[in-house]
A and B are shown apart, each in its own frame.
Chain A
Amino acid sequence: DAKTTQPPSMDCAEGRAANLPCNHSTISGNEYVYWYRQIHSQGPQYIIHGLKNNETNEMASLIITEDRKSSTLILPHATLRDTAVYYCIVRPTNSGYALNFGKGTSLLVTP
């Protein structure tokens, strides 16, 4: 399974863009990059996913490098409610499409 590397923690000022990096240098050609977040030990929440093109939805944007070895999740205008642990996950090709969670990045949005 492809593994991911994320910084353990980051800070961001409220109203500014939060850019969360993720390295996945061993990703396979048919593996997608998923982002989830977990607020206050609640159940994880899906944010966005992509294969090789950049993606945007109402929550965030996902920028994937051309070689697909890294990606960045962008929260364009971070709010205090975005304080959470953010997980970058490369979906495995087996195990019933299950998600392999690492330790993620703990994002603190400050006033």
Chain B
Amino acid sequence: NAGVTQTPKFRILKIGQSMTLQCTQDMNHNYMYWYRQDPGMGLKLIYYSVGAGITDKGEVPNGYNVSRSTTEDFPLRLELAAPSQTSVYFCASSTAGRRNTEAFFGQGTRLTVV
């Protein structure tokens, strides 16, 4: 059981470039999330989705876009990368409709913008 898989694991971008961080889960979870974690800090929510076709902003959505065309996949798009987006990005998923379930996290994508 793969759980939540993120690709790539590492990436270096130049300022102004764009990229898509991939996230896929094989647990049939309806809820999916994207977080970022800056050095020495906790995770901050970027975007989340409660099901295919439904997405909403979290705490720090500026500079990012998401889409959710299938239950399994929740890609995060960075347009016009900036140094402030240097961070570790985590994708997570959890079961739909139950408020008390655990969230499963991927291993992260370490992004550096230079």
Residues on the A chain within 8 Å of B43, using CB:
44, 99, 101
Set A34, A43, A49, A98: member contacting B48, Cβ < 8 A? A98
Looking at chain A, what size class is its interface with the partner chain?
20 to 34
Tell me, in angstroms, the Cα distance from A42 to B102 when the chains sit together: 16
Tell me, in angstroms, the Cα distance from A100 to B86 when the chains sit together: 20
Residues on the A chain within 8 Å of B108, using CB:
41-43
Tell me, in angstroms, the Cα distance from A41 to B50 when the chains sit together: 26
Tell me, in angstroms, the Cα distance from A13 to B107 when the chains sit together: 28
Report the count of interface residues on B (CB-CB < 8 A).
Answer: 30
Tell me, in angstroms, the Cα distance from A105 to B99 when the chains sit together: 25
Q: A96-B33, A96-B56, A103-B41 are in contact. Are A43 and B105 (CB under 8 A)?
A: yes
Tell me, in angstroms, the Cα distance from A43 to B33 when the chains sit together: 13
Instruction: Indicate if the CB atoms of B45 and A98 lie closer than 8 Å.
Output: yes
Q: A32-B99, A95-B58, A96-B50 are in contact. Are A101 and B44 (CB under 8 A)?
A: yes
Tell me, in angstroms, the Cα distance from A68 to B48 when the chains sit together: 28
Q: How far is the CB of B100 from chain A (nearest CB, A)?
A: 6
Tell me, in angstroms, the Cα distance from A96 to B30 when the chains sit together: 10
Q: A102-B42, A104-B42 are in contact. Are A41 and B88 (CB under 8 A)?
A: yes
Q: A43-B107, A87-B42 are in contact. Are A98 and B58 (CB under 8 A)?
A: yes
Which residues does A use to contact B, with CB under 8 Å?
32, 34, 41-46, 49, 51, 87, 91, 95-104
